[in-house]
Amino acid sequence: MKAFKTITIETTNAIAVLKFNRPAQLNAMNREMMDEIIEGIHWINAQSEYHVAVITGTGRAFMAGADIKEYGSQTPEEFDAFQEKGKELYDAIENADKPWIAGVNGFALGGGCEIALACDMILASESAKMGLPEVFLSLVPGGGGTQRLIQKIGVNRVKEMLFLGGQYEANTLKDWGLVNQVVSNENFLTEVMDFAGKLSRRPHKSVAQLKRLANMSLTTIPFEERINEEAIVVKQLYLDEEAQLAIKKFIKKSEQ
């Protein structure tokens, strides 16, 4: 694995951890960092031995959005390229066949919040704050924030977050259904890794299909087709040796 300048990748057992590593800039994302994040995500996705991926930040922030100094000086062509790269980043997380957990350790604003929204689950520290403040720049979120947020919480809450551009505390967002769990500041990474470890021990074939089917429920594919796809998947898995062994083991245990 190559050495990166703006991120780090650490692996343990069946878990890969990608960390944003520009702490002095609150992990604000410039073009170089975006390229490295995309490369890191693709690398993790390609490694079948890692069943779960965690994405988190170094220092006080998860990611405080785009690097505004660079972002504000882009030509129209550079802006278009930046947006396309962003789409690749979010899609690489969302369409991976393994679950991605956002470990939100601090501020997750703008593009940082959108990366968390692309993940399958969000675990946030007690002091974490999330928000989409683009309205203050007379902009709107450009990385799917308006659409993915509405998929996860009610439209009235979404409009409040988008229109006001505020920063919302982890416990509030847990109550709203956006954050899965709020974990302690002191033991943040340990608790996130414990959760990831539990998930990594689930059969990864099943988890990959569960992710795909759950994401399919958010599409415009007709309900009947989605139900039919579920039936196809459960039969495929049922006939797989892994499931047959698990079923036999369960029966044997229940008969003892």
Which residues are known to be catalytic? 114, 134
Single-letter amino acid code for the residue at 157: R
- Would you say 231 and 238 are in contact if contact means Cβ atoms under 8 Å apart? no
Cα–Cα nearest to 66, from 111, 131, 98: 111
Surface-to-core class of residue 208, CB atoms within 10 Å of its CB (0-12 exposed, 13-18 middle, 19+ buried): middle
Single-letter amino acid code for the residue at 138: S
Q: Extract the tokens encoding 198.
A: 């539990």
Single-letter amino acid code for the residue at 240: D
Single-letter amino acid code for the residue at 142: G
Cβ count within 10 A of residue 185:
11
Q: How far apart are CA 23 and CA 14, in angstroms?
A: 27
